[in-house]
Chain A
Amino acid sequence: MSADLLELRGIHKSFSRGFRKRVDALQGVDLRVSAGEARIITIAGESGSGKSTLGMLALGFLAPDAGEVRFRGQDVGQLRGRSLREFRRSVQAIFQNPFSAFNPFYPVDHVLRLTLRNFAPQQDRAGVEASISEALSALHLDPAAILGKHPHQLSGGQLQRVMLARAFLLRPELIIADEPVSMIDASLRAVVLANMLELKERHGISQLYITHDLSTARQISDRILILYRGRVVEAGSMDHVLDAPQHPYTQLLIQAIPQPDPTKRWQAPLDWQRGEAAAETAEMDGGCPFYSRCPQRMDRCLAAVPPLYATPANTQAACYLHEPESTSTA
């Protein structure tokens, strides 16, 4: 029935932290990756927004407290045997720190060979070599310059691209990339991002790009979800959200990004509220999670968490400023 490759619906996830303390990492998040045309979807948010937890749930590494994660219509938590294996092959992951993803005692080839041994044990030696060369070449890496090298001999950018090659070996349908370029020097980032874009455009691989960095997201993604304290506050096409942000949080976030141009300096201090204790308590009691910092807050925001409303800019924003007129009297 479902045409979705991956669907997360009504996801809640909490972690206990010490005695009787709980952190609500995700509080009712929906996300769909369609099985049709490949897309790169950015999940953006600051630390603690729940973006990495969302990635872990999509990978099936964590189970939701409430809601469901479905892969081709099947509950990921129920997958067993052959279908679980197929899910593991189809959905690959790249993480933040490429330096810790490799065993320092082995050449970087090791992780590529291991992957093939696990997923394609029938391949003979020549087949393995051909697959590896092909995957590295797809990422514009020269096999001769990579194979046989130990991790410390390669740059962070090269290591991350070898991780992309590892994922590409399995011809996945979806790659979940959690901050894949944030530990890589700026001058080498562009190549990794270009690789990601090419995996989508030439090889039809969809990606969830989890990041705090809207500027790099702009370069490669089609859609974006902005998370704040475990909830989606704004969602839409990349260009709509970044060109005309509708949620006060997205607006602040974009204003805070420095422009790489000394002639376009910040003119006035950022207009934001310093979270007062009273306002934060109000949030705890079920109001908008952004209330304490919002420059446009209203009393209305304390009553209940705003749902996602359609905005005039073709995005969805969880803010009462966008509540349709007819229902606002309720």
Chain B
Amino acid sequence: MVGPGSEVVLEIEALRIHYEMQAATIRAVDGVDLKVRGNEVLGLAGESGSGKSTLALGVLRLLRPPGRVVEGRVRFGDVDLLALEERDLRALRWRQFAYIPQGSMSALNPVMRLRSQFADTLAAHGERMQPAAMQERFTEVLHGVGLEADILPRYPHELSGGMRQRVCIALALLLGPRLIIADEPTSALDVISQRVVLETLAAARQAIGASMLLIGHDLALLAQVTDRLGVMYAGRIVELGATGQLFANARHPYTQRLISSIPDLHDRRTISSDAPEAEAQWLLEGPLQEVSAGHFVRPWQTAGETAS
């Protein structure tokens, strides 16, 4: 098994994304630095509104107004994705990096057979193939996600939600990307399909040696498949480190709270109804600081402390 390499596939530097509206400007991503290394799975955890999905859209240049990148660079290999012409960007998309959005099973075209959607994906990214070679390629990626080529003549509604999600993963892997950005790829599935799909995604990624940025709110799920983990809060990364390190030795109170709030299936814990801590806000100050090798934490203050 090949472990994560030291080469950097994606480097996000000082990224700021604002939603500029008449009444207010929302700083959804407020200065994020992040590196995704070769052949690694980097998890990005956060609750709703933390900015994790906006970050993905910004990196992929899929933001819609009023969302706007106001500052920062996104280096993919030696190109700056944010400075790229739309045409050059299209040449990289899917071929070099693929995206699996939340609930992507509903992204399939309901009135097109799956075979046409696979063929369209190839054509849209300029890949020309003979029909026989095409069939072979489709079969190969479908096998990678545990499906048979006999689903190709079917329509999306003829498949279960879990199967549709695996079709979307197969589509993302079709051109053998170096980087996969997956945003809550299993959140719309029941718990059994969730495990099957996530196992499929992890194995298929490993097989082609791609890197993956896996975004999610479910820390237990991220604990299962990530090499490193970043925790986002209010548009910033508050803690970042090897997944094992982070779970064993979380430093930031927000990370600690996220981890301790996961209910344990095997243990009935005494749960407290004390609310004040649960509603606490943290003010984040200064840059991330390295507290041990590869483990970074952002300094904080609680909102109450500064009120005086």
* Contacts from A to B (Cβ < 8 Å): 46-47, 140-141, 155, 157-158, 185-191, 193-195, 197-198, 212-216, 218-220, 239, 242-243, 252-263, 265-266, 269-270, 272, 274-275, 293
Name A220's closest neighbour in chain B (CB-CB): B271
Are the CB atoms of A252 and B247 closer together than 8 Å? no
Are the CB atoms of B47 and A185 closer together than 8 Å? yes
Interfacial chain A residues near B160, Cβ < 8 Å: 275
Are the CB atoms of A270 and B219 closer together than 8 Å? no
Are the CB atoms of B271 and A262 closer together than 8 Å? no
Given A157-B278, A187-B257, A191-B275, decide whether A258 and B195 contact each other with a Cβ distance below 8 A: yes
Per the bound structure, the CA–CA distance linking A282 and B270 in Å amounts to 45
Of listed A187, A242, A252, A275, residue having the most chain B CB within 10 A? A187
Given A158-B279, A187-B258, A190-B278, decide whether A252 and B263 contact each other with a Cβ distance below 8 A: no
Per the bound structure, the CA–CA distance linking A194 and B279 in Å amounts to 15
Given A47-B190, A256-B195, decide whether A186 and B272 contact each other with a Cβ distance below 8 A: no
- Cβ 8 A contact of A140, one of B190, B244, B266, B275: B275
Per the bound structure, the CA–CA distance linking A254 and B160 in Å amounts to 21
Per the bound structure, the CA–CA distance linking A31 and B192 in Å amounts to 25
Name B247's closest neighbour in chain A (CB-CB): A262
Are the CB atoms of B199 and A253 closer together than 8 Å? no
* Contacts from B to A (Cβ < 8 Å): 47-48, 146, 160, 190-192, 194-196, 199, 217-221, 223-225, 243-244, 247, 254, 257-259, 261-269, 271-275, 278-279
- Cβ 8 A contact of A189, one of B192, B219, B261: B261
Per the bound structure, the CA–CA distance linking A213 and B262 in Å amounts to 12
Per the bound structure, the CA–CA distance linking A251 and B54 in Å amounts to 37
Given A185-B47, A186-B261, A194-B273, decide whether A46 and B247 contact each other with a Cβ distance below 8 A: no
Are the CB atoms of A266 and B199 closer together than 8 Å? yes
Name A188's closest neighbour in chain B (CB-CB): B278
- Cβ 8 A contact of A197, one of B219, B271, B275: B271
Are the CB atoms of B271 and A193 closer together than 8 Å? yes
Given A158-B279, A194-B273, A262-B244, decide whether A185 and B48 contact each other with a Cβ distance below 8 A: yes
Name B273's closest neighbour in chain A (CB-CB): A194
Rounded to whole Å, the gap between the CB of B215 and the closest CB of chain A is 15
Are the CB atoms of B278 and A191 closer together than 8 Å? yes
Per the bound structure, the CA–CA distance linking A269 and B200 in Å amounts to 9
Per the bound structure, the CA–CA distance linking A119 and B23 in Å amounts to 40
Are the CB atoms of B243 and A258 closer together than 8 Å? no
Interfacial chain A residues near B272, Cβ < 8 Å: 190-191, 194
Are the CB atoms of A263 and B263 closer together than 8 Å? no
Per the bound structure, the CA–CA distance linking A190 and B278 in Å amounts to 9
Rounded to whole Å, the gap between the CB of A150 and the closest CB of chain B is 15
Are the CB atoms of B192 and A253 closer together than 8 Å? yes
Are the CB atoms of A270 and B196 closer together than 8 Å? yes
Are the CB atoms of B274 and A215 closer together than 8 Å? no
A185-B217, A198-B273 provided; 7 other pairs, C-beta below 8 A? A186-B217, A190-B278, A218-B265, A256-B196, A258-B218, A265-B223, A265-B224
Are the CB atoms of A194 and B271 closer together than 8 Å? yes
Are the CB atoms of A141 and B275 closer together than 8 Å? yes
Interfacial chain A residues near B199, Cβ < 8 Å: 266, 269-270
Interfacial chain B residues near A140, Cβ < 8 Å: 273-275
Name A214's closest neighbour in chain B (CB-CB): B265
Given A187-B278, A269-B199, A270-B192, decide whether A258 and B268 contact each other with a Cβ distance below 8 A: no
